[in-house]
A and B are shown apart, each in its own frame.
Chain A
Amino acid sequence: NAGVTQTPKFQVLKTGQSMTLQCAQDMNHNSMYWYRQDPGMGLRLIYYSASEGTTDKGEVPNGYNVSRLNKREFSLRLESAAPSQTSVYFCASRAQGIMNTEAFFGQGTRLTVV
């Protein structure tokens, strides 16, 4: 049982380049999330998807787009990378329902934009 898998683990981009961060979960969770983690800022929500076919903006969506490809996969795209997007990105998934449940996180993608 792999849980939440993110690729790549590390990436260096030049300003203006584009890339897609991939995320897949095998726990049959409805909800999936993309967070970025910066020193002193904690984890900030970029986008989320409550179910297959739906996506919504979080706290810091500017400069990003997402696709919920199917129930398992949720990708994050940077169309034109900027140095301010240098961060560690985490994908997470969570079962949805009346009772709050544990969110499972991937190992993270460390992105540097030069």
Chain B
Amino acid sequence: QQQVKQSPQSLIVQKGGIPIINCAYENTAFDYFPWYQQFPGKGPALLIAIRPDVSEKKEGRFTISFNKSAKQFSLHIMDSQPGDSATYFCAASFQTGANNLFFGTGTRLTVIP
């Protein structure tokens, strides 16, 4: 079954808007939650990541909000730009073992100029 559930599947916003992508997980042993960004024809690349001892992390226009009790985390993109149009994946990982990443199903974001 899907270890990490992601919504929405697609999202269209105007330039300057604040798209929000949500993810939920079940396994409380996960302790690393990254977001990956993928452009067409390219491999995913790390955008930002958070650990469960922090409720929010901001890097530039990208912010992760983390709610440990609800087992949910979300990505907010401030002042979105057409260049942010891409597919975004949330993921979760354990600290031990091979550190496999379990990915959500992805959100295709389109930012309209």
Per the bound structure, the CA–CA distance linking A110 and B105 in Å amounts to: 18
- Out of B6, B43, B97, name the residue touching A90 (CB < 8 Å): B43
Chain A interface category by residue count: 20 to 34
- Out of B2, B95, B101, name the residue touching A103 (CB < 8 Å): B101
Chain B interface category by residue count: 20 to 34
B100 in contact (CB, < 8 A): yes
Q: Which residue of B lies closest to A9 (CB)?
A: B41
Residues of chain B contacted by A43 (CB below 8 angstroms): 44, 89, 101, 103, 106
Q: Which residue of A lies closest to B2 (CB)?
A: A42
- Out of B9, B95, B98, name the residue touching A48 (CB < 8 Å): B98
B54–chain A nearest beta-carbon distance, Å: 13
Contact of A105 with B44 at beta-carbon distance under 8 Å, contacts A41-B105, A42-B89 already known: yes
Residues of chain A contacted by B112 (CB below 8 angstroms): none
B42 in contact (CB, < 8 A): yes
Q: Is the CB of B97 within 8 A of A103?
A: no
Q: Is the CB of B42 within 8 A of A94?
A: no
List A residues 70-107 near B (Cβ within 8 Å).
90, 92, 94, 96, 98-103, 105-107
Q: Is the CB of A98 within 8 A of B105?
A: no
Residues of chain A contacted by B42 (CB below 8 angstroms): 107-108
Contact of A40 with B105 at beta-carbon distance under 8 Å, contacts A98-B95, A103-B46, A108-B43 already known: yes
Q: Is the CB of A105 within 8 A of B43?
A: yes
- Out of A33, A90, A102, name the residue touching B46 (CB < 8 Å): A102
Residues of chain A contacted by B41 (CB below 8 angstroms): 107-108
Q: Is the CB of B103 within 8 A of A48?
A: no
- Out of B45, B46, B100, name the residue touching A45 (CB < 8 Å): B100
- What are 20 A-B contacts defined by CB distance under 8 Å? A4-B43, A31-B98, A35-B103, A40-B9, A40-B106, A42-B6, A42-B105, A43-B89, A43-B101, A48-B100, A49-B98, A56-B98, A90-B43, A92-B43, A96-B98, A100-B51, A100-B99, A107-B41, A108-B42, A108-B43
